[in-house]
Structure 1
Amino acid sequence: MKRNFFYTLSLLALIFNITSCKDEALPKPKAYLALEYPEAAYQKFDNASNYQFNYNSLGKITNKGNNSFHIEYPRLKATVFLNYRPVQNNIDILLRDAQKLTYEHVVKADNITEQPFINNKERKFGMFYEVGGNAASQSQFYVTDSTKNFLMGSIYFYAKPNFDSVLPAAQYIKNDLRILMESLKWK
């Protein structure tokens, strides 16, 4: 009886050793989020009294009054806020407010890249800001003719800021903001 117990125990130990000896576990390779967005199709928006621009047809525009609009991207869970202000001998204040709005994100941002925008022919001058890191807004801009019109835009997502998670959508909408700036025409 002791011998059967010993053989059974030895057999179980041998089976355990054979089945438990496998190759070392390797970490899984890095994976990237594969999000595909439709190719952007731009159309003209001409409902503002002081300006017009092209926007991605994926966005839905809502009038917020005083020539200010929201472009909502329900599929990307984001909104672009367009705020219009007339220039009335206050261009310095408007520029300072636009820069202040961007640099309030310094607390969470890893970096802020400024890209000047100048189109002398159409009297459009401005700045495009890319905000890196876990800031609330990844892209912002302002455009002005410096005498009558001033337009600020910024993108916000409906989620807690996590740069890695929103990066694909932020890049997609960033391109839309550039098209908006380049196609903007003052009336």
Structure 2
Amino acid sequence: MDSHPAQQGGPSTHLTVAFYPPQWAAEMRGAALGRLDARLLHLHARTPPDTLGAVLHDSARLLGAHLTYRCAGRQVRASPWSDGGTLRGVPLELARHALMLPGTPRPQAPAALGRALLNWTNGTLLVVQAGQVREQLNLADELDRLPLPQWLEQGLDPHARVTLHAHRLHPGGQLEQWLGRPRRSGHP
């Protein structure tokens, strides 16, 4: 991730935020933007299109806001319930890089992760099988939540090498990340 100060949120970078339902919109920069989602501070004119789209769409989902990014002739819009920025079929490490996910997720026992995710009102869940993202679920969307109990309670064949990567925003714009491996009920 390129974080050269001259490129971060420079004078030609504009990010408009309209929380849902969009009654009003505000252009945000610097510290105020970072308090929403710290990853947004690292977007700039040279951010690769895939990364820009993935971060904006993920941030829009996590914030429950419509985002419009404008910089150097580029304009990218993201809404909380769009399917844009999906990372299905992408290798996990590339998906983590595109989402600008820092550090290592905190490992969790499957039961603890399942209880936590069932209670999250927002967040992103990446279901990873054989090293590639199979599903990307928006935990604020009821339709995306429908298969969640299947992934958590029934799981997949233990030999299928499935992992769950979940992340959400804390107040102040910092990400919390968890990692777990689902398994079938009754399996050790």
Return the TM-score normalized by structure 2: 0.24
Return the TM-score normalized by structure 1: 0.24
Report the structure number with the largest CA radius of gyration.
1
More strand per residue: 1 or 2?
Answer: 1
